[in-house]
Amino acid sequence: MQTIQKIVRRPKIVVIGGGTGLSVMLRGLKEKPLDITAIVTVADDGGSSGILRSELQIPPPGDIRNVLIALADAEPLLRDVLKYRFNTGTALAGHSLGNLMLAAMTDISGDFVSGIRQLSQVLAVRGRVLPAANRAIVLHAELEDGSIVTGESMIPKAGKAIKRVFLDPVDVEPLAEAVEALEQADAILIGPGSLYTSIMPNLLVPKLAQAIVASEAVKLFVCNVMTQPGETDNYSVGDHLEAIYAHIGHHLFDYVIVNDGEIPPQVEAQYAELGSKAVHLDLDVLTQKGYKVIADRLVLFRKFLRHDAERLSHHIYKLVENWMLRKR
């Protein structure tokens, strides 16, 4: 009789990124038997996060808040309260209550990371949520015409092709716990999210990139479904990966997970009005460069296109499980 192999402990997975795509995916991953650490960008400078960052001198809380809510086991009403955004009032308009709570926790505990940890306990978060650094960073972009744009929120508005992005300070120190999580990881997962403004700010933190390169974990990239105006206009899947290579100097990934499901014409038309279209799957290019490609119908459409968190997390877990069984 054939012996059925099983992994003997929860795999440790580190998920890196920011933005809505990361939060959607984490809602699916938290249902799997995984030990999750999310490393989240601190480059955001727009909206409520930008105001709190500027006025209170704290890292921007918005992406952290979204990830905490995604991983929380809290009651639905509490999650809705944290997402609530004030629409009136001179001082409160535009602020989400979750951002204000993170700012309050930071002030009470004296430290942003401690504030995240305490709010995680209140929300019964499944896993750890860590900022890429314990300070805000400034993101710059050099455009193809040689001009420089400063600020994460301003880069997509420039309307020109991006040559590279870079941080200020260049040598920003990562959170020690984030480096340790990468060193202990069985799997490292990057994306989905805005390539230049959510993913790159994490990878450009020098010691984080070094830890990813040195890791023997299985490394996965989840590509966005749609291009993003002002960031990835006309990009293929391969273009996303080449941009990461150009910044880091290494081909990081073992597997690339992409959507090959059909997008309804009316949805394509809706996105085209915004200057966005489906990311082209250049399968031949990817396989020639040694990437193993997992392609499946991974999108859902309600008001917006989003990854199918359940189907996506199934693929991720199977890849991680198989990797660990091969290592035994």
Per run of 10 residues, the mean pLDDT along the chain (length 328 residues) is: 63 93 93 96 84 85 91 81 81 84 91 93 93 91 96 92 94 94 97 94 94 96 95 97 95 95 92 95 95 94 87 96 84
Evaluate whether 59 touches 131 at the Cβ level (below 8 Å). Answer: yes
Contacts 24+ apart (CB under 8 A), 261-268: 261/296, 261/297, 261/298, 261/299, 262/297, 263/225, 263/299, 263/301, 263/305, 264/301, 267/301, 267/305
For 258, list phi and psi in degrees, rounded to 5: -135, 155
* Exposure on the CB side of residue 322, measured as CA atoms within 13 A: 9
Entry pTM:
0.93
Q: Which two tokens stand for residue 138?
A: 């400034």
Helix boundaries (H) for the chain:
19-29, 47-56, 62-71, 76-83, 97-109, 112-123, 176-184, 200-203, 206-214, 237-248, 265-272, 283-288, 309-327
Q: Report d(CA 178, CA 37) in Å as an integer.
A: 8
Q: Which two tokens stand for residue 328?
A: 């035994």
Q: Report d(CA 217, CA 314) in Å as an integer.
A: 18
Cis, bond preceding 76 (omega within 30 deg of 0) = no
Residue 116's nearest CA partner among 20, 188, 33, 127 is 127
Q: Which two tokens stand for residue 74?
A: 């809290």
pLDDT value at position 4? 52
pLDDT value at position 328? 65
Residue showing tokens 């990124």: 17
Q: Which domains are assigned to the chain?
A: 1-42+167-328 (3.40.50.10680), 45-131 (no CATH)
Coil, strand or helix: which one is 127?
coil
Q: Which two tokens stand for residue 30?
A: 């938290």
